[in-house]
Amino acid sequence: MRLASSIALTALAVSLATALPVSAQQLDAPIVRAVENSRASITLEVEAGSSGAPMGFRVEWIKQTDFNALGGWPADASTNPLVSRAQFYGTPTWNVSTGTYRLDPNEIVRVELGDLFDETGVIATNVNDLVDFQNYVFRVQATGTSSEAASNHSLDLTAATKPAAQNCTFTQGYWKTHPEAWPVNSLTLGTVNYTKAQLLLILGQPSKGNGLIILAHQLIAAKLNIASGADPTPVAATIAAADAQIGNLVVPPIGTGFLDPDDTAANAQILDSYNNGNLGVPHCGPVPATVQTWGKIRATYR
């Protein structure tokens, strides 16, 4: 009788265990580090946890002054306009050399916040420059999958942009949003001359993996900086090489020219460094940023 009761109880326990729902596994939280900064951007290194980030990861950032005023992260960061968010889910082509943001266990990738406009594989509420000489607070979360819940957030990271200087350079983001400050009404890219209106259309065109557009954005900014009085010495040879590389290609959306981003990366990165004030000519002036809430996001799938 006792044996029969024991068997029955064991069978009941097995039955209940089978019937009860099993909680979804949760991904491990990533680690985030600050590795570089400029006046307008901060580069983060994201390291996936031991379970990886198979669907990518989300980065949130906020000015430290706002963070302190709120007493920490808001309860619903997704709807708070003070919090910027970026979902890294696909294949990058601009600031990252790795093949994907979908990370294997303990894999590392870099992202440059403040320079996301031309990046692919990301959706963001804020692709503009960061504010100069400003502390920011960051956190990262591995995106959930069909069988694994999103990770907890990483530990908070605080990092700062560099201070502004005077009589120096601006990024392409500044020139795109400050047409009244342009020192010229036309520029030549390669062998093709463009009006100011056409150049603004080019600056507003997402690259979507087109290296010609990426290079054109940086070349426009560099030429406008030089026309405004910045010392051209550090990038004179690179500008000549970029113009030769573009040749008679017409940059979208004005034309349909295309270059592989791998072929333009070297020249574009040098020009980007110059425009960010990292090649001996300092950066100048604060740049206001326009931020949308995550719920109202209209950023293009890049």
For Cα atoms 217, 284, 196, give the angle at the middle one, nearest 5 degrees.
35
Q: Flag whether pLDDT at 299 surpasses 80.
A: no
Structure tokens at 54: 């198979």
Task: With cut-offs at 50, 70 and 90, classify the pLDDT of residue 66.
Answer: very high
H/E stretch holding 271: helix 261-275
Query: Average pLDDT of 201-230?
Result: 95
Which domains, and CATH codes, for the chain? 25-163 (2.60.40.10), 172-275 (no CATH)
Determine whether 129 is exposed, middle or buried from the number of CB atoms within 10 Å of its CB (0-12, 13-18, 19+): buried
| In the block, residue with structure tokens 């983001």 | 173
Task: With cut-offs at 50, 70 and 90, classify the pLDDT of residue 180.
Answer: confident
Q: Which residue has the higher pLDDT, 130 or 4?
A: 130
Can you tell me whether residue 284 is helix, strand or coil?
strand
pTM of the model: 0.62
Give Rg (Cα) of the chain.
Answer: 24
Query: Average pLDDT of 51-77?
Result: 96
DSSP, residue by residue, 139-170 = EEEEPP-SSEEPPPPPPPEEEEPPPPBSSSB-
> What CA–CA distance (Å, rounded) separates 163 from 175?
19
Q: What is the pLDDT of residues 13-38, one digit of tens each?
A: 434 334 434 456 999 999 999 999 88
Determine whether 146 is exposed, middle or buried from the number of CB atoms within 10 Å of its CB (0-12, 13-18, 19+): exposed
| In the block, residue with structure tokens 């694994």 | 148
Contacts by 16-22, CB closer than 8 A, 24 or more apart? none
Q: What is the pLDDT of residues 132-178, one digit of tens each?
A: 889 999 999 999 999 999 999 999 999 998 876 656 899 999 999 98
Query: Among residues 214, 129, 232, 226, which one has the least CA distance to residue 187?
Result: 226
Task: With cut-offs at 50, 70 and 90, classify the pLDDT of residue 47.
Answer: very high
CA torsion sign for 53, 57, 63, 67 is negative
In the chain, which ranges are E strands?
A: 25-26, 31-37, 42-47, 57-63, 84-88, 108-113, 122-124, 135-142, 148-149, 157-160, 186-189, 192-195
Residue 20 main-chain phi, psi, to 5 deg: -70, 140
pLDDT at position 74, please?
96
Query: Average pLDDT of 223-240?
Result: 93
pLDDT at position 285, please?
56
